[in-house]
Amino acid sequence: MDSLHGILHGLAIAGTPTHLLYTLIGVFIGTMISHLPGIGPSAGIALLIPVTFGMDPITALMMLTGIYYGCMYGGAVTAILLNTPGDAAAVMTVLDGYPLARKGRAAATLAIAAVSSFIAGMIGVTALSFVALPLAAVALHFGPTEYFALILFALTTVSALTGNSLAKGMIATLIGLALATIGIDLQSGVPRFTMGFTELQDRVNFLVVVVGLFAISEVSRMVEGTMGGTLHTVKVKGKLWFTRAEWKRARPAALRGTVVGFLCGAAPGLGGTLAAMLSYVLEKKISKHPEEFGHGAIEGVAAPEAATNADSCGAFVHLLALGVPGSGATAVLMGAFIMYGIQPGPMLFTSQPDLVWGLIASMYVGNIMLLVLNLPLVGLLSRILYVPPGVLLCVVLGIATAGVYSFNNDVFDLYMALGFGVIGYGFRKLDIPKAPLLFGLILGHTLEQSFRQALTLSNSDPRVFLQSPIAAGLLVCSMISVIASVWTNRKPSKAFQEAEARIEETKHLEAERLVEEPR
Amino acid sequence: MNTKKPDVWLALCVIAGALVYLYSDLHMPVMRSGDPLGPRAFPALIGGGLLFAGALLLVETYRKARAEAAVRVRTEAAARAPSEAAPRAPSEAAPRAPSQAATLAPSEAAPRSHDDIRKGRHQTVVLLAMVVWTALYYTAFEPVGYLVSTAVFLGGLLSYFHRGHYRTNLLVALGFVVIVDLVFSRLLNVPLPAGILSL
């Protein structure tokens, strides 16, 4: 089946009433989640995986994927109205989105963000449809040696590029890999690192780790928000459309952002944050009015929003074609695939064409639904911003508890999730990225199996990894990513630092203004 | 140097954890049925990697502390410069200081006030209390049952974090547990523990 036939076949599957309904539910929930500061797509998907138990895998994965890109779509709302990025990728949107909202252009800015996201989403899914299949055909020739090198490459890229420190990225990845070794070893039957707990013999439950790290630990951020009292919302007022002049400036920025975003997404480990940042810096560099950036340039909203959404489509290229996630959220999605007994990778296109093409086609449908949801209903949906954080954190904890317990009906999982919540808090305070841990946990098993199979086939000769040109090339790329990270004496990029500093500064000024007003 | 302390502790904890992991790996029974590597080899590589990462973090922390000390010395020199050589210094030395200071984290760039420290401590106490409260809830989850334990747990949290809104809090706590119980038990066929209500 070629790509065009695949898309048409997928549209027939995604167009059934059940799939349409669940795609709508997914994108709606994703949009709602994106409006909750602190709850990112990873936590959102993890919290809702238990709700999909008992569903048909295609329906469930369409809904979970909808949550993912729905989250990416709606991340701009908190950035524009609340001066708080819904997730790290929306940091750049805050820079110009919030000043525009303060100037009374909140509705128009939200509309620009929605339309840019829509354009990027549609182009991104089309590119995904035509790139993933040839890549999967190449990957079909991969053996355990190539797979080992590919996964190692993904892990080193994530370690080297996520967060502010190579050592911390490596620590997170290796902790994830160590967690993946817990349980009975399938080849020898030996229980490893179970510490006498029978519950751990069947490996560490991925859902428990994700909910703990991404949902329960985020509650701590809400607690800090509740006690810090730093949320000041700009109300959505006026006509929900942009002017012709605004659109003329935003359109090319959105298209450039789409290209940057898709390329970043297609490279494992780069992620939406880098995509948004690169597109923002590019726009500022080529703009005729660079002085407007940071004070309300419409391109500063259109480009990063398009990049973030195109990045989420790019991330599906290697998830579907190679079985390697590209970001924390796609790692959670990959975990969901595995929970349904589906191994993402090149075989997926031949063994599960209904699933893979249905999923891709549902992204076209979901994008249209998101545009409808985000344009006329944005005023209504943004009311979720007014839910008191104190109530929200209780709801998140309640859903997390019910979801984790329902997975195995075992209180042990709840204690584990709480433990991972505490670890997640520690990670945040120590500035350790969480996504590499998830990568390590999800890919660790396949990495070990490929490693052992490759060495078994070569009679324990480690040179096997250098004899295959693909494997050797990927290992060289891994080395380069690590060396480059050490060589550049890595610091958070200047643009990103400036963005975060400016958000903090604006919040501080807002807080001071509010304190002074009653006087 | 003081601000780098958590990273030093983290590095030491990682190294200690790696040693414990490697020790457990070394004492694992070996059964090599057609597998030349056995179950120990891969974890040994991970343990070695963790040791390396811990050591790398120590090196990174040392390098960052040295770089920051150098920046501080330059900033202080630049601050002194205008008073000593006012006519020629401003264009060279002074503008560098803010950009370099901007590369430091907020906590490093400016000392925290007493108020911030007090607020930080209060938040830590509240978070610790939340962890204990959640652990108690999980202990009571099966014996007491989902409905009762969750309503009490949420009621407790809401009465602290959403103070004064008694009616809303009661409605949220009760409404939430009833809806979740109905969704899981009726729609998803995943019954949550009934506990004391099953009697």
User: What pLDDT was estimated at residue A495?
Assistant: 62
pLDDT, mean of residues A440-460? 88
Q: Model pTM greater than 0.95?
A: no
The residue type at A490: R
- Is residue A164 scored above 80 in pLDDT? no
Cβ-based neighbours of A281, under 8 Å, separated by 6 or more: A495
Chain A residue with Cα closest to B126: A223
Interface test with chain B among A174, A222, A407, A456, by most B beta carbons within 10 Å: A174
B74/chain A closest Cα distance in angstroms = 20
Task: Give Cα A236 distance to the centre of its chain.
Answer: 27
Task: Give Cα B117 distance to the centre of its chain.
Answer: 18
Q: What is the pLDDT of residues B76-94, one digit of tens each?
A: 888 777 655 554 444 443 3
User: What pLDDT was estimated at residue B93?
Assistant: 38
B6/chain A closest Cα distance in angstroms = 7
- Is residue A460 scored above 90 in pLDDT? no
Secondary structure of A469-494 in the HEC alphabet?
A: HHHHHHHHHHHHHHHHHHHCCCCCCH
Beta-carbon separation of A228 and B172 below 8 A: no
Following CA atoms A359, A69, A436, A207 in sequence, which dihedral angle do they give, to the nearest 10 degrees?
-70
Beta-carbon separation of A190 and B189 below 8 A: no
Task: Give dist(CA A48, CA A404) in Å, integer.
Answer: 10
3-class state of residue A183 by DSSP: strand
ipTM of the complex model: 0.81
A206-222 burial, b at 16+ Cβ within 10 Å, e below that, comes to bbbbbbbbbbbbbbbbb
- Give the closest of A165, A390, A497 to B102, CB-based: A497
3-class state of residue A2 by DSSP: coil
Question: In DSSP terms, which residues pair with A192 in a beta bridge?
Answer: A183
Task: Give dist(CA B130, CA B123) in Å, integer.
Answer: 10
| Chain A residues near residue B106 by CB distance under 8 angstroms | 501, 504
Task: Give dist(CA B120, CA A298) in Å, integer.
Answer: 37
- Give the closest of A402, A430, A489 to B180, CB-based: A402
User: What pLDDT was estimated at residue B102?
Assistant: 40
Q: How confident is the model at residue A40 (pLDDT cuts 50, 70, 90)?
A: confident
Q: Are A314 and A263 in contact (CB under 8 A)?
A: yes
A–B interface: beta-carbon pairs under 8 A = 183
- Is residue A91 scored above 90 in pLDDT? no
Beta-carbon separation of B57 and A171 below 8 A: yes
Task: Give dist(CA A334, CA A356) in Å, integer.
Answer: 13
- Give the closest of A187, A224, A422 to B123, CB-based: A224
3-class state of residue A191 by DSSP: strand
| Chain B residues near residue A406 by CB distance under 8 angstroms | 184, 188, 190, 192
A305 or A33, which is more confident: A305
Q: Are A276 and A307 in contact (CB under 8 A)?
A: yes
- Is residue B177 scored above 80 in pLDDT? yes
